[in-house]
């Protein structure tokens, strides 16, 4: 099990995660985090409706959603979107695709490239702290990429 720092605000009572710190608990220093740990940490963040790890073929590797969301259906949309973003980056001479944010009236969608084999899809409610999530994804990019 991994220590996931909690908010010091009232959200702490509800187990709302404010960080993606994958530091192992002292008694379990030899344990390695898993994709499931990543998905779980993301889903516990306030305002996150879904966290999915998706293969480059559009198949769901692991994930968790709330409500009536279809994880397999969502996963199928990720590779073509990421491919279009990657092509835009090359045409605009901005380098390789890393992450994109899409904003809708009902919330935001974050798609990040984890490795040559996988993407991360996170669905957020309008009140979710998008900036904090983006900071944590960037801060822990190497650790997250090592999971897949």
Q: What pLDDT, in 10s, does the model give residues 117-135? A: 999 999 999 999 999 999 9
- Cα dihedral 17, 18, 20, 24 sign: negative
pTM for the full predicted model: 0.80
Across the strands, what pairs with 99? 112
Three-class DSSP category at 43: helix
Residue 31 confidence (pLDDT) above 60: yes
Report the relative pairing of strands 48-55 and 118-124 from DSSP bridges: antiparallel
Question: pLDDT band for position 18 (50/70/90)?
Answer: low
> What are 44's two structure tokens?
């516990």
Residue 116 to residue 41: CA distance in whole angstroms: 23
Q: Which pLDDT score is estimated for 119? A: 97
Question: Longest C-alpha distance within the chain, in Å?
Answer: 49
Q: What is the pLDDT of residue 146?
A: 87
Give me the count of residues in the chain.
Answer: 148
Instruction: Look at residue 9 and tell me whether its pLDDT is greater than 50.
Output: no
């Amino acid at each position: 099990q991994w220590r996931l720092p909690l908010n010091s605000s009232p959200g702490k009572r509800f187990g709302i995660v404010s960080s993606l710190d994958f530091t192992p608990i002292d008694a379990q220093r030899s344990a390695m985090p898993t994709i499931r740990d990543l998905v779980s940490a993301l889903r516990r963040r306030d305002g996150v409706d879904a966290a999915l790890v998706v293969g480059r073929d559009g198949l769901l590797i692991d994930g968790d959603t709330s409500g009536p969301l279809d994880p397999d259906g969502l996963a199928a949309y990720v590779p073509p979107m990421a491919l279009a973003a990657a092509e835009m980056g090359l045409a605009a001479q901005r380098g390789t695709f890393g992450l994109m944010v899409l904003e809708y009236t009902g919330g935001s969608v974050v798609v990040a490239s984890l490795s040559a084999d996988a993407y991360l899809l996170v669905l957020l409610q309008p009140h979710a702290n998008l900036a904090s999530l983006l900071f944590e994804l960037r801060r822990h990019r190497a650790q997250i990429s090592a999971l897949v």
